[in-house]
Amino acid sequence: MTILQLVELHLAIFSGVAAATLAILVGRGACSRFPARLFRFSNSFKMHTSPRMIPASSAAARLFPGRTRPMADFLNAAGSTWKRTACVALLLGGGALAGAEARAESAWPSFQNGGAVSLSADLPTKWDAATSVAWHQDLVGYGQSSPVVWKGQVYITSVSGANKETYHVVAYSLKEGTKLWQYDVANPSPQESTSYVSKAAPTPVADDKGLVCFFEGGIVAGLTHGGEKRWERNLVTEFGAIDSRHGVSASVEQNADLAFLWVERTTEPYVLAVNKSTGETAWKVAGIGKTSWASPRLVPVAEGESHLVLSAIGFLVGLDPKTGERLWTFDQIAGNSTPTPVPAGNGKFLIGATTGQGESGGGNPPDSNGMVAIGRDANGQWAAQWIWHAKRATSSFGSPILAEGNAYFVNRSGVLYCLDQETGEEHYAQRAGESVWATPLATKGHVLLFGKGGTVSAVATGKTFEKLGESIAWEGAGAAPAEGRGGPPGASGPVLYGAAFVDGSLLLRRGDQLICVRTK
């Protein structure tokens, strides 16, 4: 398969976090809905379960002896411990999600906005590229990362040269599209720039102090918002060559203090946590040792904690973000090479997979698409288990998303699947447009699907399929990429890799261009 779509805080004082969470709810007019949400979150683990059997030889069987128990039994096995921590998780973990969702209106600081791709904004269902494109900028070189935004500045990464000799970080004004600065750094691992290797695929992260940027050639750098270097490291010099058949695509993940880098190389893969201010190593642990184009994702769990969840073919792994300790391993999955886990609240997350096949083949594709929950097992140890599997839905390069009580998956053929978020019951499966490489966005009343060829489709949220509109991101958009560098091996033409929404501006990133669609 082609890999060109290489898709792609910590504990505070309880009262302060709780107050912040309540402030978010009040600010969004949600106080009246909070008790109902609390009830739904606390009961979702008890109601909708999947009684699938676990092979006796699997790692999961060692966690759940004999067979898979329904999720309600899994959680109840921990007794009142889970119940005591549920409310704390909702305030600390769930509150983090609420904060991320609210933050999406004014900043987009990381890949997929840290998993918060459901927005309260009202984006248009259709627009005219001739009149609604506020600005566009041709980019230096080419790149497959997504834009990030912080306080009115848009940051984008790319690489140039026949052998990917130079990496670039460029800042633009969100309002006007004016180029503000450019930071260049030499690639310590140059290689021929073909359709079979990643091109500046990892997306950076931003916070109030600046950026942390990572490039698949082995450079990681901390920059100020003015483009000045705070620190820079060469991971090839420190830890050896990054040998990977098609490059590295994992974007940077972050919490308040640390940036997390996942280098799933062929030999001795690793996960590295660095201090965002100084670049110093906080911890370094072994990776999974399997093929992956997904990104690490912090998933809020019970007890006010988050786990750093990694997805690679045949495995999901949860790490302690403070130490890197592996807390759990889950092997009841296959084909999960590309979609990144999407937090769903209270220890749950959506996961997608493509073919459903492991590296040695086999597997039923929909069985690896669905909702997973992290919790304590009967022995008090962290573990993960399916809540539900899809019956037919599979994913492509973009991750599945949640919107208004439903989960949405888009397969390689552009078929959109709508499933009930709590039970996995399929509401419909309809062709909505092109295959998507960028993860969709959910807005008020509809989902935006970003076709890889530049067609943007709006589909109404809800149990019934209704296509509300279709727009093109650039002139000539909508045709599948033809021969050359932009698309699958041997294909060319512009490819839409990522999208972000901030302050009424929809940012679309294709390999060689950044486009801003203004909605207000």
Side chain identity at residue 419, one-letter code: L
pLDDT of residue 246: 79
Instruction: Provide the 8-state DSSP code for 247.
Output: -
Q: Could you identify the residue written with the tokens 């497959």?
A: 144
pTM of the model: 0.80
The β-bridge partners of 148 are: 155
Give CA–CA dist 366/322, Å, rounded.
34
**Four-CA torsion 110, 114, 424, 87, nearest 10 degrees:** -170
Closest CA to 251 of 264, 239, 237, 238: 264
User: If DSSP codes are grouped into helix, strand and coil, which group holds residue 171?
Assistant: strand
- Across 72-84, b (16+ Cβ under 10 Å) vs e yields eebbbbbeeebee
How big is the chain by its Cα radius of gyration, in Å? 21
CATH superfamily of 14-518: YVTN repeat-like/Quinoprotein amine dehydrogenase (2.130.10.10)
Chain mean position to CA 231: 26
Give CA–CA dist 394/178, Å, rounded.
40
Which residues of the chain are under the pLDDT cut of 50?
A: 1-104, 356-361, 481-491
Closest CA to 39 of 103, 90, 106: 90
pLDDT of residue 184: 98
Closest CA to 520 of 501, 504, 498: 504
**Residue 83 Rama label (left phi>0; alpha psi -120 to 50; beta):** alpha
pLDDT of residue 60: 39
Residues 6+ apart with CB under 8 A from 66: none
Q: Could you identify the residue written with the tokens 């940077």?
A: 252
pLDDT in tens, 237-291: 999 999 877 788 999 999 999 999 999 998 999 999 999 999 999 999 999 989 8
User: If DSSP codes are grouped into helix, strand and coil, which group holds residue 183?
Assistant: strand
| Strand blocks (E) in 423-492 | 426-431, 441-443, 446-450, 455-460, 467-472
pLDDT of residue 520: 65
pLDDT of residue 105: 63
pLDDT of residue 121: 80
